[in-house]
Amino acid sequence: MMIRTHVLGFPRIGANRELKFALERHWRGEIDEAALQAVAAELRTRHWRLQVGAGLDHVTVGDFALYDQVADLIQLFGCEPARFGFTGEESPLRRYFAMARGVAVHAHGPGCGCGAAADGGKADGTREGAPALEMTKWFDTNYHYLVPEFDSATAFSLHADRLLAEVDEAIALPASPKAALLGPVSFLFLGKSKEEGFDRLALLDRLLPVYEQLLVKLAARGVTWVQLDEPVLGLDLPPAWQDALRRAYARLGQVDQQVLLASYFSPLAGNLALACELPVAGLHVDAVRAADELLDVARTLPLGRELSVGIVDGRNVWRADLDAALATLREVRELRGGRLWLAASCSLLHVPMSLRDDPVVEADVRPWLAGAVEKLEELRVLKRALWGDEAAVADALVEARQARAARAASPRVRRLDIARRVAALPADADRRASAFPRRQAAQRERLRLPAFPTTTIGSFPQTPAIRAARAAFKRGELDAETYRAAMRDEIEQAVRRQEVLGLDVLVHGEAERNDMVEYFGEQLDGFAFTANGWVQSYGSRCVKPPVLFGDVARPAPMTVEWTRFAQGLTDRPMKGMLTGPITILQWSFVRDDQPRADTALQIALAIRDEVADLEAAGIAIIQIDEPAIREGLPLRQAERADYLAWATRAFRVAASSVGDATQIHTHMCYSEFNDILPEIAAMDADVITIETSRSDMELLRGFGGEGGGFHYPNEIGPGVYDIHSPRVPGSDEMLRLLRKAATVIPARQLWVNPDCGLKTRAWPETEAALRHMVAAAQVLRAEL
């Protein structure tokens, strides 16, 4: 009988975000490369010690990256894009940060698509003005990877020194290293063809020999297992890519190195038989997201192969149900002749380092949570219990059971008043009283806006003064009334500036908000916050998602006072500004004890109350932001319709209590929406503002019916300038974009606005850009 434990990957940012701070100091030129590498080595050692301490049979090597594990692979396989113009003189680290952050001068202009902060990024020794590699969300997580670029000239060569050095570090610990990296098919799949008509799959035969060499080298170095992640197994894979998996592993399977193939985030579904037949030494499956197919896999995978069961949730912060896990594992072990590997479902990169002692989480909620360190402990307990050593872990099992029971019984988790409200919700609660044309007429009558109305997306620059005031308030150095007065001051200034600029629909500027989800979560019941629940988003950037643990309710109005104050300063319409239910859901750790759809509906009801209060306060336009609606889309096609149905309904529930003359806006950014246009239209917002400028309005084509013939029926504000860059586009440039938009969308449906909120910008460029934007709208109006 053999039970082994391991993890697919571990958070690397450090319990106190040591890596973040070291990176940022290095980029500012305050510490050199050696000092940065010393911090990295220290973190790796510390994290391996934690793994050893929890009794894992292998520590994972290769999951550490200074910026991103995919960028590491680009260097490992020697396929840095030629466009960076590297001469070979630069240090690997210089080249690495040049790819990750771009080369200054460029300052993230239009089309760069990198989404990264334009905070300096001087990577000397490279060609001027090379934009960073594009960043894209890693499957359905909030982690962003750097996208490899491929063309017919792409060549691969092995540069394994760094990885092998890390292997040596682990062996010296001492520990038994398992190397982990992305497999060849996923690596190609997640990259991008940079040449018209070029199929990156054609590179597979060039890439495989390099993987072979690597496997051989790792074996020679004393690595007995190599984990190759092929998360594409969780996608609806085209046959050519399924075939690529067959070809790749037929070849890699011949190398004298044990390969553990890893799938996660999504069921194998149609790829199950394929995954089980690939000739590798072991298979890891996600037993949380794909719990239903676990037994099927256990029966299908040949008995000579190892099965690694991802039984502890690597995507969420809840403490595992160890009893249920043990029952499942025993069943699987039975089928597998006693042999089993245990792991978290996916890399622990996606959960905070530790939550056990977090000083901010309330004492009743804290025992319900598990960060990466606690998840290691869960694996330890599961292993001992499966060994038949239950006595040794009896206390731990009892404690876990009690924590779960307390969570289930907590009156903060299940509330009768909310259950009643949901049950009593009328079937048409998600319908506006009238259809759009009638509402449009009523709103035009009430608002009397010019054609091509100008507006912004919500936030204005979060100046150092605003941030300092908030920090002082949080530290208790500034009393609430002084803080509020300071924020009212900021709002007043923002209103005055907008009036001078001549904008038609104003915003209060969101000075009082730290973060668009946290701000609401802090005022709603059912959310907990952490001091140290940081999760890497990209590079040195981390997010600290709220923990949505219980039934959601709004004890009191959240934005009404601020919005009323702002409206009182001006005769022009002031938009009320809210975050939508799906974005709140998507950017939080969400409870796992009820369907996400139910949680979304509860949030929607809380937002609905806020919308009603804003309307009652005389606010004529209310914007409900849903930038994250697209990213919640399930990885598998078969699950999408269901998601889109409940997600759009939640939005409508939030938005639909208002009268015809109250205008509902929504805002979206970060992705292409053309594949879900009918559903976006079904949200039935009166106006939608979207990010389009970086795609040169190409994104808008779908809205105009190109291709599929679907016409977006309501009003649209396609972003006319990129807010990620301090660059100030000229009026003519925005005019050109607007004219382009007007070829697709009827002029009377068009709004004029930037791509997104302006909180990361400074005032001078903001005012200059908005001045040009208003001028562009005026030119168009004169032409009508």
User: Binding-site residues, please?
Assistant: 17-20, 137, 142, 457-459, 510, 541-542, 587, 625, 631, 667, 669, 691, 756
- What's the one-letter identity of residue 671? S
Binding flag, residue 754, ligand GLN (CB under 6 A): no
In the annotated binding site for L-methionine, the residues are: 457-459, 510, 625
Binding flag, residue 625, ligand GLN (CB under 6 A): yes
Footprint of Zn ion on 650-709 (CB under 5 A)? 669
- What's the rounded Cα separation, in Å, for the pair 364 and 407? 8
Specify the residue, 101 or 630, whose C-beta has the smaller distance to Zn ion.
630
- What's the rounded Cα separation, in Å, for the pair 584 and 579? 7
Specify the residue, 130 or 628, whose C-beta has the smaller distance to ligand GLN.
628
Residue 66: what are its φ and ψ, rounded to 5°? -70, -35
Binding flag, residue 509, ligand GLN (CB under 6 A): no
Closest approach, Cβ 72 to ligand GLN, in A, equals 29
Contact string 621-640 vs Zn ion (x = CB under 5 A): ------x-------------
- What's the rounded Cα separation, in Å, for the pair 244 and 745? 42
Which of 735, 756, 774, 777 binds ligand GLN (CB under 6 A)? It is: 756
**Residue 458 interacting entry, from ligand GLN, Zn ion, none, C-beta within 5 to 8 Å by type:** ligand GLN
Residue 352: what are its φ and ψ, rounded to 5°? -65, 160
Specify the residue, 149 or 626, whose C-beta has the smaller distance to ligand GLN.
626
In the annotated binding site for 5-methyltetrahydropteroyltri-L-glutamate, the residues are: 17-20, 137, 142, 541-542, 587, 631
Q: Among the candidate windows 116-124, 311-319, 518-526, 620-628, which touches Zn ion by CB under 5 A?
A: 620-628
User: In this structure, are residues 165 and 559 in contact, taking their beta carbons and an 8 Å threshold?
Assistant: no
Closest approach, Cβ 670 to Zn ion, in A, equals 7
Specify the residue, 510 or 660, whose C-beta has the smaller distance to ligand GLN.
510
Cβ burial, residue 682 (10 Å; 0-12/13-18/19+): middle
User: In this structure, are residues 560 and 610 in contact, taking their beta carbons and an 8 Å threshold?
Assistant: yes
Which of 108, 284, 665, 724 is the catalytic position?
724
**Residue 759 interacting entry, from ligand GLN, Zn ion, none, C-beta within 5 to 8 Å by type:** ligand GLN
DSSP 752: B
Number of shown-chain residues binding ligand GLN (CB under 6 A) = 13
Give the chain's end-to-end CA distance (angstroms, integer): 80
Binding flag, residue 376, ligand GLN (CB under 6 A): no
Q: What tokens does 471 get?
A: 């920090």
DSSP 133: P
Residue 306: what are its φ and ψ, rounded to 5°? -80, 140
Closest approach, Cβ 689 to Zn ion, in A, equals 8
Q: Among the candidate windows 124-132, 175-183, 452-460, 485-493, which touches ligand GLN by CB under 6 A?
A: 452-460
Spell 634-657 as b/e; 16+ CB within 10 A means b.
bbbeeebeebbebbbbbbbbbbbb
Question: What angle in degrees, to the nearest 10, is found between the helix axes of 92-101 and 69-76?
Answer: 130
**Residue 272 interacting entry, from Zn ion, ligand GLN, none, C-beta within 5 to 8 Å by type:** none
Which of 314, 367, 458, 754 binds ligand GLN (CB under 6 A)? It is: 458
Specify the residue, 630 or 667, whose C-beta has the smaller distance to ligand GLN.
667
Residue 374: what are its φ and ψ, rounded to 5°? -70, -30
Strand partners, 259: 226
**Residue 725 interacting entry, from ligand GLN, Zn ion, none, C-beta within 5 to 8 Å by type:** none
Specify the residue, 6 or 667, whose C-beta has the smaller distance to Zn ion.
667
Which of 8, 39, 340, 457 binds ligand GLN (CB under 6 A)? It is: 457
Q: Is the bond into 595 cis (omega within 30 degrees of 0)?
A: no
Q: What tokens does 220 get?
A: 């020679």
Specify the residue, 19 or 756, whose C-beta has the smaller distance to ligand GLN.
756
Specify the residue, 133 or 457, whose C-beta has the smaller distance to ligand GLN.
457
User: In this structure, are residues 140 and 265 in contact, taking their beta carbons and an 8 Å threshold?
Assistant: yes
Residues 6+ apart with CB under 8 A from 319: 367, 368, 369, 370, 374, 378, 400, 403, 404
Q: What tokens does 34 get?
A: 């050696």
User: In this structure, are residues 333 and 326 in contact, taking their beta carbons and an 8 Å threshold?
Assistant: no
Specify the residue, 60 or 456, whose C-beta has the smaller distance to ligand GLN.
456
Closest approach, Cβ 670 to ligand GLN, in A, equals 7
Judge whether 724 counts as a catalytic residue.
yes
Closest approach, Cβ 543 to ligand GLN, in A, equals 12
Specify the residue, 372 or 647, whose C-beta has the smaller distance to ligand GLN.
647
Specify the residue, 177 or 627, whose C-beta has the smaller distance to Zn ion.
627
Binding flag, residue 516, Zn ion (CB under 5 A): no
Binding flag, residue 627, ligand GLN (CB under 6 A): yes
Q: What tokens does 455 get?
A: 């507006």
Residue 437 Rama label (left phi>0; alpha psi -120 to 50; beta): alpha
Binding flag, residue 757, ligand GLN (CB under 6 A): yes
Closest approach, Cβ 247 to ligand GLN, in A, equals 41
- What's the rounded Cα separation, in Å, for the pair 211 and 280? 14
Closest approach, Cβ 626 to ligand GLN, in A, equals 8
Maximum Cα interatomic distance, the chain, rounded to a whole number of Å: 82
Closest approach, Cβ 482 to Zn ion, in A, equals 31
- What's the rounded Cα separation, in Å, for the pair 426 and 739? 43
**Residue 516 interacting entry, from Zn ion, ligand GLN, none, C-beta within 5 to 8 Å by type:** ligand GLN
DSSP 535: E
User: In this structure, are residues 115 and 627 in contact, taking their beta carbons and an 8 Å threshold?
Assistant: no
Closest approach, Cβ 625 to Zn ion, in A, equals 7
DSSP 256: S
Which of 459, 540, 588, 725 binds ligand GLN (CB under 6 A)? It is: 459
Closest approach, Cβ 665 to ligand GLN, in A, equals 10
DSSP E strands, 626-709: 663-668, 687-690
Residue with tokens 């382009």: 740
Which of 759, 761, 766, 767 binds ligand GLN (CB under 6 A)? It is: 759
Footprint of ligand GLN on 198-257 (CB under 6 A)? none
Cβ burial, residue 609 (10 Å; 0-12/13-18/19+): middle
In the annotated binding site for L-homocysteine, the residues are: 457-459, 510, 625
DSSP 506: B
Contact string 546-585 vs ligand GLN (x = CB under 6 A): -------------------------------x--------
Which of 43, 130, 233, 516 binds ligand GLN (CB under 6 A)? It is: 516
Whole-number Cα distances in Å, 428 to 434, 488, 657, 681, 684: 12, 38, 10, 18, 14
Q: What tokens does 93 get?
A: 């680290």
Which of 511, 742, 756, 770 binds Zn ion (CB under 5 A)? It is: 756
User: In this structure, are residues 552 and 602 in contact, taking their beta carbons and an 8 Å threshold?
Assistant: yes
Q: Among the candidate windows 598-606, 640-648, 726-734, 752-760, which touches ligand GLN by CB under 6 A?
A: 752-760
Residue 35 Rama label (left phi>0; alpha psi -120 to 50; beta): alpha
- Beta strand 547-553 pairing with 59-61: unpaired
Active site residues: 724
Residues interacting with Zn ion, by CB under 5 A?
Answer: 627, 669, 756
Enumerate binding residues for ligand GLN (CB under 6 A).
Answer: 457-459, 510, 516, 577, 625, 627, 667, 669, 756-757, 759
